[in-house]
Chain A
């Protein structure tokens, strides 16, 4: 055997030894890596009236102050006349749930930021939501600007300026959608969609699912998978035989009617933290233009849109059960 081949064999054996070493790392480190991803965790609210929400949060705050929970004080930043502002910057008032611009990004750790593809346009963060690969260029609209890609995990806050971001390249509007909500980038045959993360007030689901995502009129197919299938990427995605079944239509209607809540409040109210732990299904509405409206369904009837994970709506139990019965 030549020296070169011998070296190759030796390296292969050593790599295998390392593989076995990795096999035997500690249980705690393994378990930590299996926990659901929470780097895109956001907040959400529900059907309660504003007064009830304020009361609830104030009570939670008081209770937590008396407990040993280290992060108990971190939930509410301000309670004012008819509004509650959370530490995350999200405010709940009669107008709805307001997600502030940029601060959503600045509130994240550097580790979180380096994991996201995003850029800043007109003072708002647009975060990558989905990549479309099959002949999706037809949805690319007019050129709007070029992201400079100058932000990384070491960038100070004052580096978060217009057109900066963790990705660089030309970006465009998406045909049929408001550029104030959805933009796209096109690279090597792949179109990436970017959803605006903040600087918006949403009252009911219709503000998002109807006005911005045109969910009801546009979808042609419904797919779903369990949380486990999604998390472990096992690909056990199923398709509903009747995408316009009454249960689905009822679900969309309930989605439109329900009021938004910050996830923070739901966590406080339900004691489920992180909220991701209560997730049971992922649901995908495939729309005519190739975009997928990806929803996360949680126990208790909570529903989040994948592009805005810090808020959710809660739909009536019966409607939720009717929908999930189709998945079983």
Chain B
């Protein structure tokens, strides 16, 4: 079913909207949640919350790209779950992601101003667009989809060690770009 038809079902308050969302994007949402949380039950809870959020949000919202919208919701719900449970549970996925993302944090010496929310996302857009299509895809699939390195290496058909090097270079590239801009996170 087309995304626009699924969205229309939400707007008509048809419960089949959730069923259709699950059919089309269930695996996608579960993949992101599982990558971030690494605990199947919690990932499933997260996906169910995402459907509930979709039900609450549409209407009034009408996402332009349903998949990207759902993915964002899953990511937000997953990190909130991590905040709630991190004292008693170890979510390997998000901890690895955040640990890798620390490599991108610019040095304090270069600070001129702090970048927030929308501006940061727009800056990341322009940085991503400056990369080759392959590097952009790698970065997004690792840090937006949260795909583990080993799995991403298999997907790309390259050895994990080589991919890890590539990812490190990408993180350093982002760090340098942020430093050149003189921005702080």
Contact surface of A with B, Cβ cutoff 8 Å: 11-12, 14-34, 37, 39-40, 111-112, 114-117, 128, 167, 228-229, 232-234, 236
Report B-chain residues with C-beta under 8 Å of the C-beta of A16. Answer: 79, 98
Residue ID in chain B nearest A37 by CB atoms = B155
Complex Cα distance A23/B68, Å? 9
The 5 closest A-B pairs by CB, nearest first: A33-B140, A24-B121, A21-B120, A27-B65, A15-B101
Can you report 15 residue pairs joining A to B where beta carbons are below 8 Å apart?
Answer: A14-B102, A21-B117, A23-B75, A23-B121, A23-B144, A26-B121, A30-B144, A33-B136, A33-B141, A39-B156, A111-B133, A111-B134, A115-B158, A117-B157, A128-B157
Whether A111 contacts B132 by the Cβ 8 Å rule is yes
Contact status A14-B185, CB under 8 Å: yes
A33 touching B144, Cβ below 8 Å: yes
Q: Which residue of A lies closest to B31 (CB)?
A: A232
Q: Among the listed B30, B102, B117, B134, which residue makes an inter-chain contact with A24, where contact means beta carbons less than 8 Å apart?
A: B117
- Within B93-139, which residues are at the interface with A (CB < 8 Å)? 97-99, 101-102, 104-105, 117-118, 120-121, 123-125, 128-129, 132-134, 136-137
Q: In the complex, what distance in Å separates the CA atom of A99 from the CA atom of B185?
A: 52
Which of A17, A24, A37 makes the CB contact (< 8 A) with B185? A17
**A29-B79 in contact (CB<8A):** no
B21 on the A face (CB < 8 A): no
Residue of B nearest to A26 (CB): B125
Contacts of B64 in A (CB 8 A): 27
CA distance A117 to B158 in the complex (A): 6
CA distance in complex: A199, B151 (Å):
31
Instruction: Specify which chain B residues have a CB less than 8 angstroms from the CB of A28 in the assembled complex.
Output: 65
- Give the distance in Å from the alpha carbon of A215 to the alpha carbon of B117 in the complex: 55
B137 & A23 in contact (Cβ 8 Å cutoff): no
**Residues of B close to A40: CB separation below 8 A:** 157
The answer to whether B101 and A19 have CB atoms under 8 Å apart is yes
Interface centre among A25, A29, A34, A112 (most CB of B within 10 A): A25
Q: Shortest beta-carbon distance, A115 to chain B, in Å? A: 5
Produce 1/0 per residue, B141-185, CB < 8 A to A: 101110100010011111100000000000000000000000001
Closest to B123 in A: A21
Which of B30, B65, B102 interacts with A12 by CB under 8 Å? B102
Q: Is the CB of A15 within 8 A of B105?
A: yes
B129–A29 touching, CB < 8 Å: yes
B65 near A18 with CB under 8 A, answer no
Q: Which of B45-67 contact A (CB under 8 A)?
A: 64-65, 67
Distance in angstroms between the alpha carbons of A26 and B156 in the assembled complex:
23
Minimum distance in angstroms from B148 CB to a CB of chain A: 9
List residues of chain B with CB within 8 A of the CB of A236: 27
